[in-house]
Structure 1
């Protein structure tokens, strides 16, 4: 191979690497921008939701909290990944159809769980100026500083996972230093151990029918 061929090949390889690095850099910037926008939107919606709930009588609060979660958080939830996290080691014995059904059934349970988080913070002062995002390669989190009327301070953390299409989706919320998904997982794993997965799905179906 002549020196001219070697030079040409080196140039082509270098150009290809440069274009690849440039494309990856642009994707990273776009990915961070999407995460930052989503985290800020969720935080603003959370602040608005807590204020709405504070103005409602107790009898209306639960239903309104669920409506807000369905409208604001559910479209951004990674239900499939959340389901896998909830099932833990038990997912190994299930087929695709069983896990798909569980994913559909568990959605209403997650809505109730996150609605309760909203109710816990009703009327809180959500300080969005302290929003911080921490992005890894496939996982990220955003922390919102919260101050309640009694000057109690805490953080609400949205935990994100990037899906195969590159979109950031929420899979857990940490409230008062407690992972809501972990709490739910403990109760579900204990229940599966006692009654089995099929009976758990049966109870989830019944619960879903009762809510309709």
Structure 2
């Protein structure tokens, strides 16, 4: 009986140890993916601000949009961003309406983040001060920015972990202002004025004009 009990206890310890080890490895992998993503985005931001300063004014917007499309857009959490943008209005929508809005809003977000990038042209971006603050499902990475004749500031990437365990960007804080919140205010006002269907119609037209 004692031998059976010891064997059972040993098996339980081994199972718990393997489970704890796997959980630890999973946490390390997600943390590593977040660190790599934060470093990559920060480096791309630094390089883009340097290149923007060298471009003619009439070429900056297009270049910034190309950078955001290539480097940031693949890592955006469009679904979560859409839910935050719609707020309480999402309750009155069906799944198809929400899905279409999520698809259409990507170009709006790309344009918004591209404008943020242009604002920091020629800034001194300090990657050495990159600070990553990770919670259970949310995280943020802040980089220090010094721009001539401007006060010191930070640009903060805000991340959310998706159902596959991958970290994705859902907002950018520039000069203490949430860009997603600014966009939400304008969209909510439009929904109140013209309704959701008309808003989606305008987003479709805007997307078609950008193609």
TM-score (norm 2): 0.97
User: Offset at 1:196?
Assistant: 1.1
Aligned equivalents of 1:107 and 1:31: distance in 2?
Answer: 25
In the alignment, the residues of structure 1 paired with residue 85 and residue 201 of structure 2 have an alpha-carbon distance, to the nearest angstrom, of 17
* 1:4 corresponding residue in structure 2: 3
1:161 counterpart residue number: 160
Distance 2:204 2:67 in 1: 23
Kindly state the Cα deviation for residue 151 of structure 1 after the two structures are TM-superposed: 5.1
Give 3-state SS (helix, strand or coil) of 1:63's partner: helix
Q: Where does the alignment leave 5 or more consecutive residues of structure 2 unmatched?
A: none
Show the counterpart of 1:48: 47
SS class of match (1:152): coil
Structure 1 residue runs of 4 or more that deviate by more than 6 Å after TM superposition: none
**Cα distance between partner residues in 2 of 1:210 and 1:50:** 27
SS of 2:121's partner is: coil
Which ranges of structure 1 fall in alignment gaps of 5 or more residues? none
> Is 1:98 the counterpart of 2:97 in the alignment?
yes
State the match for 1:207 in structure 2.
206
Distance 1:189 1:151, change over 3 A: closer
Deviation at 1:8, TM superposition (A): 2.2
1:130-209 matches, within 5 Å, as 130-150=129-149, 152-209=151-208
Deviations 1:8-40 (A, max 9, x none): 222222211111111111111111111111101
What is the CA–CA distance in structure 1 between the aligned matches of 2:183 and 2:68, rounded to whole Å?
17
